[in-house]
Amino acid sequence: MMIAELTEQECLELLTTTTVGRVGFVADDRVLILPVNYVLDGRDVLIRTAPEGILSPLPDTPIAFEVDRHDDLAGSGWSVLLSTRASEIDAAEVATAPGAAHKHPWAGGDRSRALRLTPETISGRHVRRDRA
């Protein structure tokens, strides 16, 4: 098995290849990990959520954002992890991000609260298993 660390640039390039990631945070003394749709804006991740939803307390809270992908047939995969904090932004800011017009939250209902996840660290790994 080969495990290789990814550069920040490689991580950012991989984040452009999909639109679903996971936000990890602590709420009510429990670790929660929730799937979210996202748009990449430079190094930042933009998400939309319900105004009073479970992600409402995120601004100024330490959180993790993770995206991964694997291919069983090829025997390879990758994972990118951001240690970050969220800040509230205007929904119009999300709408002007590259590609945002074609990406909408899968969850129904009001998703008018917009958050910017600005990474403090970005790390990633690529894994490839030996072919037997």
The per-residue pLDDT for range 75-132, each reduced to its tens digit, is: 889 999 999 999 998 877 777 777 655 556 656 665 668 889 999 999 999 998 876 6
Q: Rounded CA gap, 91 and 118, in Å?
A: 16
Q: Rounded CA gap, 107 and 88, in Å?
A: 19
Query: Sign of the CA dihedral 44, 45, 48, 50?
Result: negative
pTM of the model: 0.86
pLDDT digits (tens, 9 = 90+) for 29-86: 999 999 998 989 899 999 888 888 888 778 878 999 999 998 887 788 999 999 999 9
